[in-house]
Structure 1
Amino acid sequence: MASKQALRRAWFQLHKWLGLLLAALIIPISFTGAVLVWHEELEPWVYPDRYATSGDVTLAPAAYLEAARTAMRPGERVASLAMPDHGGPVTVAAAPAHAPDRPGPPQRTNIYLDPPTARVLEVAPNNAGIMRVLHVLHGSLMVPGVGRQIVGWVGVAMMVSALTGLWLWWPMTGSWRRGFRWRRHANTDTNLHYQFGFWVSLPLFVLSLTGAWISFPAFFGPLSGEAPRPRPRPAAPLEATARPVEEVLALAGGEVRQVSWPTEKKAEWTVRLARGQVTVDDRTGAAKREPPAPEGVMRLMRRVHDGTGMGLLWRWAIFLGGMIPVLLAVTGVIMWWRARGWRAKVKRRRVRAAMA
C-alpha cells in the first residue's frame, strides 16, 4: 500500500508540474484547435464580404480571370483558379513575378469573385486575417523557426498528462465507480477537474499524439514507412501560357475544383477534380489522369487531428478535446494556488505551536 501511495504521489507531482509549467502554452494551442474544427462554418461569419455572393451559377473561366486582373497588383501573375465550394466565392490566386529564394508556403494575393457576375468581392493576402492567425498560433505559437517543435513537445507533455491524470482519477480504495461521483472533493473546481479530466483523457491523448506526429515527421515518418518529403521552393507562374485555361479544362474533363497554372520550374497545368486530378503539359497538350493517391499514415493523422472527413461526432470530440484542457489548466492552477495557501497556513500554525 505504501509503494502504491508513493507511486501515486510521484504521478501527482509529474501531472501537477506539467500542467503548471505548460498552462500558458496549452491554453492557446487547445483553444485555437477547438475553434479551427469549425473553420469552414466560421469563415462566412469572419469574412462576410468575400461570401456575399449572389448565386451559384458560374461563368467561363475567362470572365473570372479578366475580373481578377483588374484587382491584381503590377507584376503579379495568375497562379490558380478555384471554383466555389459550398456556396462560396470563386477564388483567383495571384503570385509575384519573382519567387522568393526560400522554402515554405508561397505568398499569394487572393481575389474573391462573385460566381454569377465575376464581381470582385474582396482582395486579401493568403497569410493574413484572423483565421490565418489562429492556424499559425495553433501550429507554431507564432514562434519562427522552432515554434512547430515547441508545439510538438507540448503534445508529448499532454499525452503524459492525460495518462497520469487518468491514473490519479482512479479511486485508491473501493470500486472504480466511485470515480464518477461528483463530490469527490469539497471544492467545485477540483470536482470539475476530476470529472472533465476523465472524459477528455482519451480524445486528448489521441489529439496530442496526432499533433506530435504532425510536428515531428522526420521521427514518426520512418515508423510508418513514410519518408518526410522536403518542402519544395515556390516557383513563379508563367507570364504567358501556350494554352488557354479553357482548352486545359476541356482536356481534363470532369468536375473541376481547382486549376493551377504552369510555373517557370515546371510547365505543367494541374487540374484537381472532384475525383482525382489531371496534369496537362502546356507545350504538348498531353493530359495524364492520376487516380486519387492512397492515404498514408501522415495524412490519416492530420485528418484525425483536424477532423477532415471524420464525421460530426469526432469533430465535436475534437472541439471538446480543445476546450476542456483550457478548463483543466485554469482549475489546475486554482487547485495549486489553494494548496499553496493551505500549506503556508499549516506551516504558520506549526511555528506558533513551537513558540508557545
Structure 2
Amino acid sequence: MRPTLVRLHRWFGLVMAGFLVMAGVTGSLLAWNDELEALVSPELFVASPAGPGPALDPLELRQRVQAAFAQAFVPRAPLQIEPGRTLAFRLRALPPPGGGTAPELADDQVFINPWTGRIQGQRKWGDIGQGTKNLMPFVLRLHDSLALDIVGSYLLGVVALLWTLDCFVGAWLTLPARASRNGGPSWLRRWRPAWGLRWRAGAHKLNFDLHRAGGLWPWAMLFVLAWSSVAFNLREVYEPVMRTLFTFQQDDAPRRSGPPLLQPPVNWRQARDIGRARLDQAAQANGFAVLGEYMLIYDPRTGLYGYYARTSRDVSERWGITHVGIDASTGEMTGLRLPTGAASGDTVHTWLTTLHMAAVGGTAMQVFVSLMGLAVAMLSITGVLVWWKKRQAAARRRSTAMATAPNRTAPSSAP
C-alpha cells in the first residue's frame, strides 16, 4: 500500500504545486485585506467625520447612491459603520426597459462618507486595469479563481479536493513502519523523528524534513484550509459530503417568479424595522444576544430581503451572518438562520470558512493565517525539490547501471 500512496502523494503534489504556491502567497496577503485596502487606496476607504455629530442613516446613504447611479440598482445597504471608514455600496446593472441583456457597468462599487454623505470614489471591482485601487480585489480574484471567473473557480476547486485528499495521504506516509518482531523503540518514539528538523545533515535532508515536519505540525489548519477551499469553489462535492455527515438549517424558499420586483410593497426602512423586531424576538426565544446590525440585502428576482446582524451565535469578529428572511410583498418572516448552535453542519461550516478568512481571533489569527499561507507555498516548493532530487538520483543510478553492465551485443571472436 505504501508505494501506491507514495506515487499518489508525488503526483498530487506535482499537479497542485504551482496552484498552491499562488494560493498560499495571495492568501497570506488576504489575511490583511482590510488593512491593505485602506493602505493602498485611502481615498476610497478612509473617511473623516465632518464634525462631532452622528453618522447619517445607512439607508439614507443608499438612497443617495441609488439617485446618483439611476442606471443601476443598489441591492445592499451596509448597516455597520466603523470609525474613520467609508461605506461601500455595490451596483448591479439593470436590463433595458424593453428587455434584453443588462449592459456592463463602468464601475460597480461606490464609496461614500457616512458623516458627510459625499461620494469619495468608485471602481469596477477586480479590474486591475484601473490601477492600484483594484490591487487587493485582483489578488482576491487570483486567490479564488486565477482571475478566470467560473472556469478558474472550478479548476481551483478540483485542486482543493486533491489537496484535501493529500492531507491524509501525506500524514499517512509520515507514520513509522511496523516494528520488527524483536521489539525495539515504541511506535511514538519511532514517529518522533518525522516531527523534527536535521539542521546539520545537509541541504537535501533539511529540505525533506521541512516538507515532512512542515506538513505535520500545522496539519489540522492545513486540512481546514483545504476543505474550506472546496466549500468555496466546489460546492457540488462539498455539500453532499457535509449533508451526509451533518444536519443543516433550511434555506429561505423563493416567493415569486417573473420579472424583477424593483419597487416592492415593503420598502427598505420597513424591512429593516421588521428584521430588527423579528431578530429581537428570536434572540429572546433562543437565548442569544444581538450585538449589532451588519447588512440589509434585497433580491428583486425572488422578492426577498435578507436582514443580517452580528449576534452571540456568530463566530466572525468582522461581520454578522445571523439572518432573517423577509418577504418584500407581505412583510412576513420567511426564515431564521443562525451561524452556530442550530444545526451541526452550519456550525462546522461557519467555523471552517471563518478560520479560512482569519475573521476570528484578532491580529494573532491574521498573523497565523498569513504564516500558514507562506507555509503552504513552502510545502509545495520543498515537495517539488524532493521529487527533483530523487529523480536526479534515479537517473544517475540508471546511467551507472548502463555503464557497468556487460556488453551483451558485442560480436564473438572469429573461429
Shorter-chain TM band: 0.7 to 0.9
How is 1:38-187 mapped onto 2 (pairs within 5 angstroms)?
38-55=32-49, 57-61=54-58, 64-65=61-62, 67-69=64-66, 71-72=68-69, 75-87=71-83, 88-98=85-95, 109-126=108-125, 128=127, 129-172=134-177, 174=185, 175=189, 176-183=191-198, 185-187=201-203
Give 5+ residue unaligned stretches, structure 1: 1-6
- Counterparts in 2 of 1:337 and 1:54: CA distance versus 1, 3 Å: same
For structure 1, which segment, 31-40 or 272-281, has the greater mean C-alpha deviation from structure 2 after superposition?
A: 272-281
Q: Please identify, of 311-320 and 337-346, the stretch whose mean Cα deviation from structure 2 is larger.
A: 311-320
Alignment CA distance shift 1:257-1:166 (3 Å): closer
SS in 1 for 2:75: strand
Q: Where does residue 330 of structure 1 map in the other structure?
A: 381
Alpha-carbon distance, 1:14 to partner: 2.1
Q: Which shifted more, 199-208 or 256-265?
A: 256-265
Offset, 1:24: 1.8
Q: Which residue of 1 aligns with 2:412?
A: none
Q: Secondary structure at the match of 1:153?
A: helix
CA distance in structure 2 between the aligned counterparts of 1:213 and 1:260, rounded to whole angstroms: 23
Q: Residues of 1 paired with 2:242 and 2:5: CA distance? A: 31
Structure 1 residue 117 displacement after superposition: 1.1
Comparing 40-49 with 166-175, which one deviates more in the overlay? Answer: 166-175
2:4 is aligned to 10
Partner residue, 1:311: 361
Amino acid at match of 1:258: M
Matched AA of 2:38: P
Q: Structure 2-normalised TM-score?
A: 0.66
Residues 241 and 262 in structure 1, CA contact (< 8 A), matched pair in contact too: no
| 1:217–1:85 CA distance, 2 compared to 1 (3 A) | farther
Q: Deviations over 1:214-253 (max 9, x none)?
A: 4224522531345997998997562x56677556656665
Partner residue of 2:209 out of 180, 185, 191: 191
Please give the alpha-carbon distance, in whole angstroms, between the structure 2 residues aligned to 1:287 and 1:228: 17
Q: Is it true that 1:301 corresponds to 2:345 in the alignment?
A: no
CA displacement 1:49-103 (0-9 Å, x = unmatched): 212200393024576356535642x52233332234433212333333329989x
Q: Distance in 1 between matches of 2:14 and 2:30?
A: 25
Range that drifts further, 118-127 or 308-317: 308-317
CA contact (8 A) 1:169 1:179 kept: yes
Cα gap change, 1:191 to 1:261, in 2 (>3 Å): closer
Other structure's SS at 1:182 match: coil
RCO comparison, higher one (Cα < 8 Å, 6+): 1
Structure 1 residue 113 displacement after superposition: 0.9
2:22 pairs, out of 28, 43, 46, with: 28
Aligned-pair distance for 1:112?
Answer: 0.8
- Deviations, residues 109-158 of structure 1 (Å, cap 9, x unaligned): 22211121112111123454333333333333344545444333322322
The reply on whether 1:210 has 2:225 as its aligned counterpart is no
**Contact kept in structure 2, 1:156 and 1:212, CA below 8 Å:** yes
* CA deviation after TM superposition for structure 1 residue 331, in Å: 1.3
Q: Name the structure 1 match of 2:300.
A: 263
Q: 1:220 aligns with which of 238, 241, 246?
A: 241
Measured after TM superposition, the shift of residue 306 of structure 1 is 4.0
Q: Indicate the larger mover: 319-328 or 221-230.
A: 221-230
Q: Do the aligned partners of residues 234 and 8 (structure 1) sit closer, same or farther apart at CA in structure 2, a change above 3 Å counting?
A: farther
Letter in 2 for 1:342: A
Bigger shift: residues 17-26 or 74-83: 74-83
Question: Percent sequence identity over matched residues?
Answer: 19
Question: C-alpha separation between the residues in 1 aligned to 2:106 and 2:259?
Answer: 11
Kept after mapping to 2: 8 A contact 1:76/1:94: yes
Q: How far does the alpha carbon of each residue in 1:257-278 deviate from its partner, in whole angstroms, 9 at most, with x for none?
A: 3334573752x65544455566
| Counterpart among 13, 16, 19 of residue 19 in structure 1 | 13
Question: SS where residue 49 of structure 1 aligns?
Answer: helix
Aligned to 2:42, the other structure's residue is in SS state coil
- Number of aligned residue pairs: give it: 343
Unaligned runs of 5+ in 2: 128-133, 180-184, 278-291, 312-321, 408-415
Query: Alignment partner for residue 340 of structure 1, among 372, 383, 391?
Result: 391
What letter corresponds to residue 222 of structure 1 in structure 2? R
CA gap of 1:165–1:65, structure 2 versus 1, over 3 A, is: closer
TM normalised by structure 1 equals 0.75
- Residue 178 of structure 1, CA deviation: 2.6
Matched letter for residue 25 of structure 2: F
Query: 1:34: Cα distance to partner?
Result: 3.5
Q: Which residue is equivalent to 2:314?
A: none
RMSD, aligned α-carbons = 4.1
Quick one: distance in 1 between partners of 2:392 and 2:109?
A: 55
For 2:336 and 2:248, the matched residues in 1 are separated by 20
